[in-house]
């Protein structure tokens, strides 16, 4: 049973560029959440997708956008990259959107470096 898979694992971009990160949830999960984790910090919630719609959004600018596909996979897009966007981007999947134990299964992350 494959867990949460993310791609790419590492990438380097320059300021002003755009990036797309991809995530496939754990088998049986229908909800995908994205988190940003800066070095030495805890993960920060970006948004959650459920039934192909953005269900909840954290305190991130509109430069951060996402999408969920019918097969529950998801993309995170970041436009007009800033140096401060350098971080580990974690995708987490769960079942049922909200409620339950809320156990999130995290992927290994995509490490983005903005130069």
Partner 1 sequence: GQNIDQPTEMTATEGAIVQINCTYQTSGFNGLFWYQQHAGEAPTFLSYNVLDGLEEKGRFSSFLSRSKGYSYLLLKELQMKDSASYLCAIRNQAGTALIFGKGTTLSVSS
Contact set with partner 1 (CB under 8 A):
4, 33, 35, 40-45, 48, 55-56, 58, 90, 97-99, 101-109
Q: Is the peptide bond before 81 cis (omega within 30 degrees of 0)?
A: no
> 71 vs 101, which CB is nearer to partner 1?
101
> 40 vs 70, which CB is nearer to partner 1?
40
Q: How many Cα atoms sit within 13 Å of 74 on the Cβ side?
A: 33
The minimum distance between CB 84 and partner 1, in angstroms, equals 17
> 13 vs 45, which CB is nearer to partner 1?
45
Which residues, including other chains, have CB under 8 Å from residue 101's CB and lie 6 or more apart?
A: none
The minimum distance between CB 16 and partner 1, in angstroms, equals 28
């Amino acid at each position: 049973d494959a867990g949460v898979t993310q791609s790419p694992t590492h990438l380097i971009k320059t300021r002003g560029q755009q990036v797309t990160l991809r995530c496939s949830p754990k088998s049986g999960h229908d909800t995908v959440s994205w988190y940003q984790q800066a070095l030495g910090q805890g993960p920060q919630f970006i948004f959650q997708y459920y039934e192909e719609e953005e269900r909840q959004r954290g305190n991130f600018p509109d430069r951060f956008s996402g999408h969920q596909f019918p097969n529950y996979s998801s993309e995170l897009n970041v436009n007009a990259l800033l140096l401060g966007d350098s971080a580990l981007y974690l995708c987490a999947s769960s079942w049922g959107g909200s409620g339950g134990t809320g156990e999130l299964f995290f992927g290994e992350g995509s490490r983005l470096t903005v130069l």
